[in-house]
Amino acid sequence: MQRATTQRAMTGAEKVGLLLLALDQTRAVELLKKFSSEELNTIMRSTDAMVTISAPDLALIVEEFEDRIGKGKPFSGRGDDVKLLVGSVINDIKSAADSAGTEQSKEAVWERLPTVNDDVLIPFIERQHPQVAAFILHRMGSERSTAILRSFPAEMRNHFLMRIFGLKDVSFMVVDAIEESLHQELFEADKGRAAQHIVLASILNSLDRSQSEEALVHLAQSQPKDAAMIRKLLFKFEDLTTLNPKALTVLMDGVPVERTVIALQGMDTTFQSIILATLSPRAKRMAEAELQSSAAASPRDLAESRRAIVDSVLRLAAEGAIELPST
């Protein structure tokens, strides 16, 4: 059989397809899943003109596989076989994508990146290799990257700009690694950190103001940024009336009337009137009747009801449903 190398030079896509055929199918499929859709399509298109070669021909393509392939079973690589192999992987990838509704898309990472606070994003970029940092700045868009670059010293800023200017095509494997790093370090870690802030704020909200302030001062000595975030979440039951009317209505819509009645016991009539005004007419009448006739709640029930309402405030604020008043 005439060798492929004497007929014409093989393309890179053809060589990839033939090497994949030489592997065990399970291993080949796993490797193909790491290819982008564009690369898979390139391999598929290359099979239309792919020549058939033998094991010795394959050895000429990549010498480091000579012993493993040349001593194995007789090898015959055909374009149709490559097409079948790649086609099966494309179907597998499509099926996996359809069932992965909760998995964050790559584009979503880049869409969310410009919304990350400067105090989180700037230190993250500083920790990266300059070439990685340049790629991230490039993908963020000119407006956001300009704002970030202004925070760097002139020498570093100019260095990043030169790297951005010299950016070329980046390997999809490198992009995947960057996206995974962004997701894990900025979004997943930030999500967990935010949950910790809410938990600690909930605890501090249950303490006296002097006690919570003392705890925050102590935390600020080692974790100043965390302390600042938690301070924004400090919110007492007595602060309910500082919420804007819309936020207060959203909050009270989700609080059972029974809990509202218990929590309002012992508060002054002005405070009670503001809270009751957010309820529906029927719920308001029920609450007013209960406040006038019901027996006094135990200190424990009173504290638990108020703490539950405050926790609802923190949860809604974290979800972006309401805004806490500026401190």
Concatenating the DSSP letter of every residue in 9-66 gives PPPHHHHHHHHHHHS-HHHHHHHHTTS-HHHHHHHHHHGGGPPPEEHHHHHHH-GGGH
Beta-carbon-side half-sphere exposure of residue 316 (alpha carbons within 13 Å): 22
E runs forming strands in 60-140:
76-77
**pLDDT value of residue 327:** 54
**pLDDT value of residue 195:** 66
Is 4-99's fold the same as 104-234's? yes
Q: How far apart are CA 278 and CA 118, in angstroms?
A: 37
**pLDDT value of residue 46:** 66
SS3 for 76?
Answer: strand
Residues 6+ apart with CB under 8 A from 22: 58, 65, 69, 75, 77
What is the CATH code of the structural domain delimited by 238-319?
1.10.220.30
Tokens linked to 190 = 């930030």
Q: What is the pLDDT of residues 193-202, one digit of tens each?
A: 666 777 787 7
CA distances from 31 to 18, 264, 317 (A): 13, 63, 44
For the chain, give every domain's residue range.
4-99, 104-234, 238-319
**pLDDT value of residue 228:** 81
**pLDDT value of residue 25:** 67
In the predicted model, residues of the chain with pLDDT beneath 50 are: 1-6, 64-65, 68-76, 93-94, 96-105
Q: How far apart are CA 251 and CA 310, in angstroms?
A: 10
The closest alpha carbon to 305, from 274, 275, 273, 325, belongs to 275
Query: Is 104-234 in CATH node 1.10.220.30?
Result: yes
Amino acid at 69: I
Are 70 and 55 within 8 A, CB to CB?
A: yes
Q: How far apart are CA 233 and CA 141, in angstroms?
A: 32
Count Cβ atoms below 10 Å from residue 197 Cβ, excluding itself.
Answer: 19
Are 237 and 314 within 8 A, CB to CB?
A: no
Tokens linked to 146 = 């300009």
Tokens linked to 285 = 């009448």
Q: Which CATH architecture has domain 4-99?
A: Orthogonal Bundle (1.10)
Q: How far apart are CA 126 and CA 61, in angstroms?
A: 42
Residues 6+ apart with CB under 8 A from 230: 197, 200, 201, 204, 216, 219
Counting beta carbons within 10 angstroms of the beta carbon of residue 310, is it exposed (0 to 12), middle (13 to 18) or buried (19 or more)?
buried
Cα dihedral sign, 225-227-231-232? positive
Report the predicted TM-score, pTM, of the whole model to 2 decimal places.
Answer: 0.42
